[in-house]
């Protein structure tokens, strides 16, 4: 394939050429239809070809695509108003970028400037991106090994263990980052009580608390922000992936005093805040709140969950079901790559967790997933797992 020749060997490729999508379904170039449980790695939250988002993009391209943030723009203003209605309380300021990793890089710089402290703590199992700052905060050693040195003064603490976290804090610690639900590590929600404990610790020690909601935010868990599941608000919240319905975009939401500590020219992005992404994002946020997508994530998520629990009781090779809403992992006793390929043959696209021993199937479907989709997902899973168990027996 030309893509393999020219783009190198960076991505784990699946043997499908996707051409179009609608709602929770995608089609390949031969016209085969699939249920999309990967959702472009969690980007396609509003569903493919969402009318609200598509219309907003079409309207905007007929006006103007590029307006640098050194000019004012009404589409950007409208987006800022929209996001301010859904932002967690007190996170009233926003920095705009283009990807998850950029949202994290901005959070690192803002915190350093605000606190004057360089020490950072992230969690074991974390994933925050691939640029040097966010990569430094990403746990998996093999992602970093060939690119060292990483940003100095970075430590990793046990996710969910407040005693371990407390023991790692020193006078130079100014920044603690975590995903309320770890994504790449295979969907691990923070244990109940942990986020509250971390919040208290950060308040006592004057540490900026950053939540990375790039994967778990934007309605996926049945709440606009995953942290709402535990009623804890960070000092900075990073969001990206589906924020602009598939157009590259990110927002670093901060308390005003944090962004206020930055001076002109200390952070910027050529594309950040461009009207195309802003138009798409305002429509995306409206789709989430006004078209019932967040409620659907909760409702369909719990339907899927109860079906998966039944499969777990039936099939011994399923070890655990984890997650919230439409952010779900199925952990197996076995390598899941064969299951993934068998599912594609049966027209369902899953995701696996790169981080683990490849024994986790991950579901990050569009939030418009339907009851019919759930029935089909459960039917196919039941069938391919039974086949796998038969192969193992023989």
Q: Which residues bind ligand PLP (CB under 6 A)?
A: 41, 99-101, 104, 127-129, 179, 183-184, 212, 214-215, 240
How far, in Å, CA of 132 to CA of 51, rounded? 37
For residues 214 and 282, which CB has a smaller minimum distance to ligand PLP in the complex?
214
C-alpha separations of 90 from 43, 237, 256, 358 in Å: 26, 11, 8, 40
Find the shortest distance in angstroms from Cβ 164 to ligand PLP.
21
Instruction: Give which of 203, 214, 144 is closest to 176, Cα–Cα.
Output: 203
Find the shortest distance in angstroms from Cβ 117 to ligand PLP.
22
Q: Is 322 helix (H, G, I), strand (E, B) or coil?
A: strand
Q: Is 204 helix (H, G, I), strand (E, B) or coil?
A: helix
For residues 179 and 331, which CB has a smaller minimum distance to ligand PLP in the complex?
179
Burial class (CB in 10 A: 0-12, 13-18, 19+), 164: middle
For residues 28 and 228, which CB has a smaller minimum distance to ligand PLP in the complex?
228
For residues 214 and 244, which CB has a smaller minimum distance to ligand PLP in the complex?
214
Find the shortest distance in angstroms from Cβ 212 to ligand PLP.
5
For residues 100 and 307, which CB has a smaller minimum distance to ligand PLP in the complex?
100
Q: Is 150 helix (H, G, I), strand (E, B) or coil?
A: coil
For residues 247 and 381, which CB has a smaller minimum distance to ligand PLP in the complex?
247
Find the shortest distance in angstroms from Cβ 127 to ligand PLP.
5
Find the shortest distance in angstroms from Cβ 104 to ligand PLP.
6
Q: In the numeric block, which tokens belong to residue 370?
A: 């339907």
Find the shortest distance in angstroms from Cβ 10 to ligand PLP.
12
Which sign, positive or negative, has the C-alpha torsion 34, 38, 40, 45?
A: positive
Instruction: Give which of 73, 171, 77 is closest to 119, Cα–Cα.
Output: 171
- Is there a contact between 243 and 218 (Cβ–Cβ < 8 Å)? yes
Which sign, positive or negative, has the C-alpha torsion 134, 135, 136, 137?
A: positive
Find the shortest distance in angstroms from Cβ 131 to ligand PLP.
7
Q: Which residue has the tokens 């899953």?
A: 350
How far, in Å, CA of 244 to CA of 52, rounded? 11
For residues 14 and 22, which CB has a smaller minimum distance to ligand PLP in the complex?
14
């Amino acid at each position: 394939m030309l893509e393999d020749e020219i783009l190198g060997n960076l991505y784990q490729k699946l043997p499908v050429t996707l051409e179009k999508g609608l709602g929770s379904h995608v089609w390949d170039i031969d016209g085969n239809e699939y249920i999309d449980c990967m959702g472009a790695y969690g980007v396609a939250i509003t569903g493919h070809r969402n009318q609200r988002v598509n219309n907003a993009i079409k309207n905007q391209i007929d006006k103007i695509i590029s307006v640098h943030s050194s000019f004012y723009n009404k589409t950007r203003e409208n987006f800022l108003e929209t996001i301010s209605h859904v932002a967690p309380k007190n996170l009233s300021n926003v920095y705009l970028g283009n990807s998850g990793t950029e949202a994290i890089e901005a959070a690192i710089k803002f915190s350093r400037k605000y606190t004057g402290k360089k020490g950072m703590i992230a969690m074991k199992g974390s994933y925050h991106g691939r640029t040097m700052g966010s990569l430094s905060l990403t746990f998996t050693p093999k992602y970093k090994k060939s690119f060292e040195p990483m940003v100095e003064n970075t430590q990793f603490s046990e996710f969910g263990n407040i005693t371990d976290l407390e023991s790692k804090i020193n006078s130079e610690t100014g920044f603690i980052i975590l995903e309320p639900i770890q994504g790449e590590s295979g969907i691990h929600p923070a244990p109940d009580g942990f986020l509250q404990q971390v919040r208290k610790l950060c308040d006592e020690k004057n540490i900026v608390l950053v939540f990375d909601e790039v994967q778990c935010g934007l309605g996926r868990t049945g709440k606009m922000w995953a942290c709402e599941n535990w009623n804890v608000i960070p000092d900075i919240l990073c969001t990206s992936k589906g924020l602009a319905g598939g157009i590259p975009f990110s927002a670093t939401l901060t308390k005003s005093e944090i962004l206020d500590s930055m001076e002109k020219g200390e952070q910027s992005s050529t594309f950040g805040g461009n009207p195309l992404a802003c138009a798409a994002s305002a429509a995306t946020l409206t789709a989430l709140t006004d078209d019932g997508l967040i409620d659907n994530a909760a409702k369909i998520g719990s339907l899927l969950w109860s079906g998966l629990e039944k499969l777990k009781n039936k099939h011994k090779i399923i070890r655990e079901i984890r997650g919230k809403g439409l952010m779900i992992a199925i952990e197996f006793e076995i390598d899941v790559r064969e299951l993934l390929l068998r599912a594609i043959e049966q027209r369902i696209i899953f995701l696996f967790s790169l981080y683990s021993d490849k024994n986790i199937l991950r579901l990050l479907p569009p939030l418009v997933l339907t009851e019919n989709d759930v029935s089909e997902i459960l039917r196919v899973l039941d069938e391919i797992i039974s086949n796998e168990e038969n192969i193992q027996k023989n």
